[in-house]
RNA sequence: GCGCCUGUAGCUCAGUGGAUAGAGCACUGGCCUCCGGAGCCAGGUGCCGCAGGUUCAAAUCCUGCCAGGCGCGCCA
């Protein structure tokens, strides 16, 4: 197989000529697949040559952006570079584009057609074999196709879910969990070293309420007088906890004084609930490296230590019998209390100590995933980071909006007060972890999400999860059949790829080539939902291809039947199978589809969704 | 009152400086002798909430307004 840049592809990322690399490397986050990079590199060469010949005045050029054009008839790839540099050249964009096109025509051989379109686009048609290195790249890198090193091994602490251990996880937590898991995988794929952490809010008022609630139920069980706390937790799980406690402790608690008994109940309940949360998350396919206890911050004196640190720099002061953090020095709208008049710390005090600890553990980048109702808290937290001497880009807070649960288009009413709500576990039981995750990741995190249980369960093409998973299973089935018939899938390098000329085949290769760029962009934007959209597109392209073209030759029996039927029976159905299915074509298509399957699998893997061999 | 988020096709949502703004669903009608029909094809919709501004270029950036959601605690 011959290809204009097969050898670069084998080395991995295309290198720029050393001569030019010095100015190409700043302000660039090199993205995109090898084909886009190749074209970008050719444009850069052309710009420099044009400059040498006096056609361009500029001494510095931006990294040319090479994209897929919105319409296929405009070409395979396009660039807006002429419009970008038109200003510094003080010439009309069309003229600059024309000049670059002329230069490229003389210097670049693999661009089949270069055209210029208003207001200044450069459009390129590539020789079909330009896409073949993509297939080699996928085969060579396998599970790692699309991964990059832009993170340069930087350590990231990704904190998410972090629900109070006062009850089971609900849908909102599920969305956060799916997002966090996907982000961790995505950032790892981009070369970051990510740790996932769950911050257990096992201190403070909520825990006290939990303890009181369980204790009240315990007393109730034993027919004692009890007072259920105002704002206490009413769910049935509280009674279940009291009963479980009773099974272990029996009447023991009745002998204790109420204060100790309450404390005992609180410890017991929070431990049990944390364990239940861990189980729910494990079943959902979300695991954490660390479970960090808020209470441990109190026990170790970390809170006082962190506040002392700030106080030494006059960032903490006392007023009206309370202790304050000078967050207004760091663009927060006012100062905030960290220690109340009654001597208790506020939750901000714990968060100060917690985030101080995160930074001291050597993480260069902190990401917190929070419910959107906490957005007012963000400036305060940024102030904390800045107070410890770090830049505000050091902490990124991703806000997750609410989930509206539907069943067949009708809203599912939930009342937390009455203890009637659908938990994450309920949803996972009903629709499965894969569907739940995929649905959570189908929308940008800062928009409301409608989650229809009926749709998520449906085994039809209306259900996006199945649409993508089916594509993978369908290919798996194809390879099984090929194997049964003794048809081997050859390595890419040995396949007759030049047989791939159909538009549906080229489209697949183009889509595959865009995967690395997609991953980098999604990672930098912290937006895994882009991957779901990409996968839906890729699956769609596959299904179209698969409907229109055959891969394996008909069985011998079928051929005989066809011959028996005579040549004139094929009317309109013939266009579906009219390719002359040579041995080469079968081989080439198998190789192509193998890479499609790899990318679907990789993409689903980043979402934490399985890629089934059978469905 | 102040702040943040959202406003794009009937519905749910992509698109966040580039060309004629897209997809799925819903609706209608087609397509299985054949590698998985859990699939495919064909039909048409938009003052991109409104009004200004910046730009060669705005759904995208800035300002103001309107609507919805959420915050604004010595609660978490």
Nucleotides of B under 7 A from a protein CB: 3-7, 12-16, 18-26, 31-41, 56-57, 69-76
User: Which positions 159-198 on chain A have a beta carbon less than 7 angstroms from any atom of strand B?
Assistant: 164
CATH 1.10.730.10 boundaries in chain A: 464-607
Residue A119 CA, nucleotide B57 C1', distance (Å): 8
CA A449 to C1' B10, in angstroms, rounded, equals 19
Find the residue closest to B70 using CA and C1' atoms: A373
In terms of Cα–Cα distance, which of A8, A42, A419 is closest to A236?
A419
Of all nucleotides, the one whose C1′ comes closest to residue A472's CA is B36
CA of A545 to C1' of B18 (A): 31
Burial A323-348 (b: 16+ CB within 10 A, else e): bbbbbeebebeebbbbbeeeeebbbb
The 3 state secondary structure assigned to A594-608 is HHHHHHHHHHHHHHC
Nearest-nucleotide field for A404 (CA, C1'): B12
Predicted confidence at residue A563, as pLDDT, reads 41
Q: What is the DSSP string of A261-316?
A: HHHHHHHHHHHHHHHHHHHHHHHHT---SEEEEHHHHHHHTHHHHHHHHHHHTT-E
pLDDT digit string, tens, across residues A498-551: 999 999 999 999 999 999 999 999 999 999 999 999 999 999 999 999 999 999
Q: Under a CB-based contact definition with an 8 Å cutoff, are residues A338 and A306 in contact?
A: no
Q: Which residue is nearest to nucleotide B69 (CA to C1')?
A: A448
Buried b (16+ CB within 10 A) or exposed e, A425-457: bebbeebbbbbbbbbbbbbebeeebebbbebbe
Q: Cβ of A374: how many Cβ atoms within 10 Å? A: 13
- At residue A419, the pLDDT reads 56
Domain(s) labelled CATH 3.30.1360.70 in chain A stretch across: 6-126
Residue A417: predicted pLDDT: 55
Å from the A499 CA to the B59 C1': 42
Integer distance in angstroms from CA A164 to C1' B76?
8
Residue A336 CB-half CA count within 13 A: 25
Query: A557 CA, B33 C1': separation in Å?
Result: 11
Protein-to-nucleotide distance from the CA of A144 to the C1' of B14, whole angstroms: 27
pLDDT of residue A566: 35
DSSP codes joined into one string, A503-560: HHHHHHHHHHHTHHHHHHHHHHHT-THHHHHHHHHHHHHHHHHHHH---SPPPHHHHH
Residue A543 approaches strand B within 7 Å at CB: yes
Length A123 CA → B56 C1' (Å): 19
Nucleotide nearest to A206 in CA–C1' terms: B76
Give the per-residue pLDDT at A415.
61
A473 touches strand B (CB under 7 A): yes
> Protein A590 CA to nucleic acid B29 C1', in Å?
34
Question: For strand B, which residues in window 444-463 of chain A come within 7 Å by CB?
Answer: 444, 446-450, 459-462
Helix axes A258-284, A171-189, angle to 10 degrees: 50
CA of A231 to C1' of B46 (A): 48
Q: Round to the nearest angstrom and report the end-to-end CA distance of chain A.
A: 36
| CB of A340 nearer than 7 A to strand B | yes
Q: Tell me, what's the pLDDT at A19?
A: 26
* pLDDT tens figures, A363-416: 999 999 999 989 999 999 999 999 999 988 899 999 999 898 888 878 887 665
* Residue with smallest Cα–C1' gap to B22: A70
Look up the protein residue whose alpha carbon has the minimum distance to the C1' of B14. A533
Nucleotide nearest to A529 (CA to C1'): B14
Instruction: Specify the DSSP element, H or E, that contains A437.
Output: helix A433-440
Q: Which residue is nearest to nucleotide B75 (CA to C1')?
A: A205
Nucleotide nearest to A204 (CA to C1'): B76
Residues of chain A with confidence (pLDDT) below 70:
1-32, 414-420, 556-580
Architecture (CATH level 2) of domain A6-126: 2-Layer Sandwich (3.30)
User: How far, in Å, is the CA of A545 from the C1' of nucleotide B20?
Assistant: 27
Q: Please tell me the total number of residues recorded for chain A in this structure.
A: 615
According to CATH, the topology of domain A464-607 is Isoleucyl-tRNA Synthetase; Domain 1 (1.10.730)
Query: A161, A180 in Cβ contact below 8 A?
Result: yes
Q: CA–C1' span, A404 to B11, in Å?
A: 15
- Give the ipTM of the model, two decimals please: 0.94
Q: Integer distance in angstroms from CA A380 to C1' B20? A: 46
pLDDT confidence of residue A565: 37
Kindly report the backbone phi and psi dihedral angles of residue A457, in degrees, each rounded to the nearest multiple of 5, phi listed first. Answer: -90, -25
């Amino acid at each position: 197989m011959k290809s204009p840049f097969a050898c670069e592809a084998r080395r991995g990322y295309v290198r720029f000529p050393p001569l030019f690399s010095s100015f190409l490397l700043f302000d660039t986050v090199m993205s995109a697949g090898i084909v886009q990079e190749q074209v970008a590199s050719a444009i850069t060469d052309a710009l420099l040559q044009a400059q040498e010949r006096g056609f361009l005045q500029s001494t510095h050029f931006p990294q040319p952006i090479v994209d897929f054009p919105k319409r296929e008839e405009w070409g395979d790839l396009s660039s807006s570079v002429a419009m970008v540099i038109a200003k510094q050249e003080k010439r009309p964009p069309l003229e600059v584009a024309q000049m670059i096109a002329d230069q490229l025509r003389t210097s670049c051989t693999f661009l089949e057609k270069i055209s210029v379109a208003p207001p200044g686009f450069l459009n390129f048609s590539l020789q079909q074999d330009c896409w073949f290195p993509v297939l080699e790249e996928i085969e060579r890198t396998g599970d790692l196709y699309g991964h990059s090193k832009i993170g340069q091994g930087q350590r990231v602490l990704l904190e998410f879910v972090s629900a109070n251990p006062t009850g089971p996880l609900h849908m909102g937590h599920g969305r956060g969990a799916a997002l966090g898991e996907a982000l961790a995988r995505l950032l790892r794929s981009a070369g970051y070293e990510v740790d996932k952490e769950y911050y257990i809010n096992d201190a403070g008022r909520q825990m006290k309420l939990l303890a009181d609630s369980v204790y009240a139920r315990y007393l109730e069980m034993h027919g004692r007088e009890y007072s259920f706390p105002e704002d206490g937790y009413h769910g049935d799980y509280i009674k279940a906890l009291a009963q479980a406690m009773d099974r272990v402790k029996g009447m023991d608690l009745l002998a204790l004084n109420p204060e100790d008994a309450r404390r005992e109940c609180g410890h017991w309940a929070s431990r049990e609930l944390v364990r239940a949360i861990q189980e729910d998350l494990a079943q959902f396919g979300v695991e954490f490296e660390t479970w960090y206890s808020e209470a441990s911050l109190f026990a170790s004196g970390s809170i006082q230590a962190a506040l002392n640190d700030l106080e030494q720099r006059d960032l903490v002061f006392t007023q009206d019998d309370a202790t304050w953090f000078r967050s207004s020095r760091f663009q927060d709208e006012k100062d905030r209390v960290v220690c109340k008049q009654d001597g208790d710390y506020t939750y901000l005090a714990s968060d100060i100590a917690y985030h101080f600890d995160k930074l001291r553990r050597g993480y260069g980048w902190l990401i917190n995933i929070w419910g959107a109702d906490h957005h007012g808290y963000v400036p305060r937290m940024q102030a904390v980071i800045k107070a410890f001497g770090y830049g505000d880009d050091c902490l990124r807070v991703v806000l997750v909006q609410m989930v509206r649960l539907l069943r067949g288009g009708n809203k599912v009413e939930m009342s937390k007060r009455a203890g009637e709500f659908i938990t994450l576990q309920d949803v996972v039981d009903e629709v499965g972890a894969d569907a739940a995750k995929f649905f959570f990741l189908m929308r940008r995190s800062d928009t409301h999400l409608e989650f229809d249980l009926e749709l998520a369960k449906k085994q039809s093409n209306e259900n996006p999860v199945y649409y993508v998973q089916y594509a993978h299973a369908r290919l798996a089935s194809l390879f099984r059949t090929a194997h049964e018939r003794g048809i081997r899938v050859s390595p890419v390098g040995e396949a007759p790829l030049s047989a791939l000329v159909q538009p549906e085949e080229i489209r697949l290769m183009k889509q595959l080539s865009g995967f690395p760029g997609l991953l980098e962009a999604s990672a930098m934007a912290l937006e895994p939902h882009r991957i779901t959209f990409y996968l839906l597109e890729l699956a769609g392209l596959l299904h179209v291809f698969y409907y229109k073209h055959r891969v394996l030759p008909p069985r011998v029996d079928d051929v005989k039947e066809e011959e028996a039927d005579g040549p004139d029976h094929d009317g309109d159905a013939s266009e579906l199978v009219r390719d002359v299915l040579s041995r080469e074509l079968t081989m080439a298509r198998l190789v192509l589809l193998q890479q499609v399957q790899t990318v679907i699998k990789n993409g689903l893997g980043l979402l934490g969704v399985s890629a089934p061999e059978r469905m």
